[in-house]
Amino acid sequence: MQLRNSETKYGAIAQLFHWVIVVLVVTQFVLAQRADSLPRGLALLQTLALHKSVGITIFALALLRLLWRWMNPVPPMPSSSPRWQQIASRISHIALYALLLLMPLFGWLMSSARNFPVSWFGIATLPDLIAPSEKAYEFFHEGHEPLAKVLFVLALVHIAAALKHHFIDRDDVLLRMLPWNRKGGAEH
């Protein structure tokens, strides 16, 4: 098992970060939908507490993933990819990382502004980032949902691009991020 990235494939650590974050982001959307359908009460508070914990986990993993990426350059796009696709890929990855950091940060700031504690799975209570403020709460609350929608759309574009590379371009862009793909990821 290759831990570090190579010229042709993502290593096991980059793959682990990628897929764990994917699962946690999907979990966040499910929790948000569940919270929207619940009346005020204990079930809603428990769902929101779990949503906050998962969000903080995504924030920490995204920071670690960025650090790993900085120390471990990613495999380049296939040379056959047009320049515009290479630029679009770079921009979309930057946007995905930004959203993986902004979404939890907005949630944390929203909770701080509302004077609701942010606990990480009941193990640790995080400090408030700002003083309570209804105006700040409204700002972060109003920003949180649109950011989620942008993340959702960008994730769909990311998936569509990976599938296009696999089924239309017939290169190994998708395969190099799959853990069960043992070959080096060279283009076919």
75 in Cβ contact with 5 (< 8 Å): yes
pLDDT digits (tens, 9 = 90+) for 50-61: 999 999 999 999
pLDDT digits (tens, 9 = 90+) for 35-77: 999 999 999 999 999 999 999 999 999 999 999 999 999 999 9
Amino acid identity of residue 29, one-letter, is F
Domains and their CATH numbers in the chain: 12-177 (1.20.950)
Name the residue with tokens 């209804």. 134
pLDDT digits (tens, 9 = 90+) for 109-168: 999 999 999 999 999 999 999 999 999 999 999 999 999 999 999 999 999 999 999 999
30 in Cβ contact with 46 (< 8 Å): no
What's the CA angle centered on 102, arms 38 and 39, to 5 degrees?
5
For residue 15, pLDDT over 50 is answered with yes
C-alpha distances out from residue 16 to 34, 41, 132, 182, Å? 27, 36, 37, 15
The beta strand positions in 74-173, using DSSP E, are 118-120, 124-126
Q: Give the integer Cα–Cα distance in Å for 11 and 187.
A: 17
For residue 99, the model assigns a pLDDT of: 98
Nearest to 24 by CA among 49, 59, 50, 58: 58
**Per-residue confidence at 183, pLDDT binned at 50, 70, 90?**
low
**Per-residue confidence at 181, pLDDT binned at 50, 70, 90?**
confident
For residue 187, the model assigns a pLDDT of: 39
